[in-house]
Amino acid sequence: MHTRDAEALVRPLLWIGFDGRIPTPEAARLIHEGVSGVILFARNVGTSDETRALIRELKAIAPGPLLLSVDQEGGRVARLTEGFEAFPPMRELGERSPDDVRAIGRRLGAQVRGAGFDIDLAPVVDVDSNPANPVIGNRSFSRDPQVVATLGAAMIAGLQEHVAACAKHFPGHGDTDKDSHYDLPRLPHALERLRACELVPFKAAVRAGVACVMTTHVVFDALDPGVAATMSAPAIGLLREEVGFGGVCVSDCMEMKAISEHFGCGKAAVRAVAAGVDALLVSHTPEAQHEVIEALAAAVCDGRIAEGRIVEARTRLGTLARRHARGV
Q: Which of 118, 175, 252, 278 is catalytic?
A: 252
Residues 6+ apart with CB under 8 A from 62: 31, 32, 34
- Please say whether the beta carbons of 240 and 186 come within 8 A: no
Q: Which of 144, 177, 179, 181 is catalytic?
A: 181
- Catalytic site includes residue 181: yes
> Which amino acid type is present at position 257?
K
Q: How would you label 34-53 residue by residue, b for 16+ Cβ within 10 Å and e otherwise?
A: bbbbbbbeeebbeebeebbb
Q: Give the H or E element holding residue 315.
A: helix 307-324
Per-residue H/E/C for 232-249:
CHHHHHHHHHHCCCCCEE
Q: How far apart (Å, rounded) are the C-alpha atoms in residues 145 and 215?
A: 18
- Catalytic site includes residue 2: no
Nearest to 198 by CA among 155, 141, 148, 246: 148
Question: Running DSSP on this structure, what letter comes out for residue 291?
Answer: H
Is residue 37 classed as helix, strand or coil in its secondary structure?
A: strand
Which residues participate in catalysis according to the annotation?
A: 181, 252
